[in-house]
Amino acid sequence: MNKVTFRPFIMPLLLVFCTLFYYFGELVDWAAWDALRSNFFYGVHDIHRLLFLAPIVYAGYTARVKGALIVTIVAFVIFLPRAFFISLYPDPLLRMMLFVIFAGVIGALVGTIRNQTIRSQQLEAMLTIKRDKLLKIVDGMADGIVITGPDYRIRFMNTKMVEFFGEGTGLTCYKHLRNLDAPCQQECHIPDVINNEEINRWECSFPDGKIYEIVAAPYVDADGTVCQISIFRDITQRKKI
């Protein structure tokens, strides 16, 4: 799971840079830097405010919704002097308020999406850990265990199953277990197990002459796919008696 490292110095730097850019025209007048004077810095400043989206979005991504709202309030305070004392254009306070609301919503959305992403990653990691624990237990069982996806591809075989049939993870079950080019017609229970969420039990003969008792049940894999988990028990000797 990717983890974003929060660097506290980035946010102040972004805010300072945006503030200097926002009040650059006034700074030029105060310092009498005539060479840096440009009409761009003396407009209505609606465009200049867009730069503050950078720290607000960054706060939403790193500090979630609360961080985005805090930085939006800070930006609002930064905008106030121009709205009340400097701007010569009509409705400066209204335009500033509209931007603050817009920027706050964008930052909150980024924070919300980030929260959902983190929760999804945590859930996926937790499911993966549980799956690994389960498969570790399953791997030590005396019976063969195989997990097969709805596409008939083998996702997992425990040690005993590999001993029975050889390693076949990634191959189709009908090809690896019975050397067929298409799913077994009468003996395949995958559609019933997966689609109807049924637990089935049956006996099946294989080309090597062995007979297995198979118990299959639905199983949700780590990626959320509903699969079939099957237990293979060799009953060849019992059937021959």
pLDDT of 1: 47
pLDDT in single tens digits along all 241 residues of the chain: 455 555 778 999 999 999 999 999 888 888 888 888 888 787 778 889 999 999 999 999 999 999 999 999 999 999 999 888 888 788 889 999 999 999 999 999 999 999 999 998 888 888 888 878 877 887 888 899 999 999 999 999 999 999 999 999 999 999 999 888 888 877 788 888 998 888 999 998 888 889 999 999 999 887 889 999 999 999 988 877 6
- Write the secondary structure of the chain as one string of H (helix), E (strand) and C (coil): CCCCCCCCCHHHHHHHHHHHHHCHHHHHHHHCCHHHCCHHHHCCCHHHHHHHHHHHHHHHHHHHHHHHHHHHHHHHHHHHHHHHHHCCCCCHHHHHHHHHHHHHHHHHHHHHHHHHHHHHHHHHHHHHHHHHHHHHHHHCCCCEEEEECCCCEEEEECHHHHHHHCCCCCCEHHHHHHCCCCCCCCCCCHHHHHHCCCCEEEEEECCCCCEEEEEEEEEECCCCCEEEEEEEEECHHHHHC
* Domains and their CATH numbers in the chain: 10-131 (no CATH), 140-240 (3.30.450.20)
